[in-house]
Structure 1
Amino acid sequence: MNYTYIVQCADGTLYTGWTNCLARRMKAHNEGKAGAKYTRAKRPVKLVYYEGFATKEEAMSREYRIKQLTREKKLELMKF
């Protein structure tokens, strides 16, 4: 399974990414050096939204589409 996800950083900003293991990726964002450069300075991060996909390509495509949304649209998406 592949996932597109949104995390909320300690400063309230949102970060969107994709992974094939949510638990490992959240650990990397919060503890390891393998987390995104953006989130390293904004720890801790909290998983606030995710969607599952059968393929990496689908997850990456959805990540791109979410990144094009405004913050307000991302917050609306997270309400579901």
Structure 2
Amino acid sequence: MEDSHPDRDAQFKYITMQVKKFLKDNLPVISVDTKKKELLGNYANKGQEWRKKGSPRKVNGRDFPDPKGKEIGIPYGIYDQGKI
């Protein structure tokens, strides 16, 4: 690839090797797909609602479970590499 870092290929070969090793040992391997960060919940920007106006779903502004059982925001995609 033009203008690529010289170690780029080595980095991906290392990751691929680790994935194969973990899968062989029946250990979990996930791939997380991230996108531009958007503020959620208490930190959200004003904008278009996805639910009926006036009845937004309350969520915690973090991507980890809330001890009070509130709904949480979900990352764009998490894939189990052992099942794809």
Shorter-normalised TM range: under 0.3
TM-score w.r.t. the length of structure 2 is: 0.21
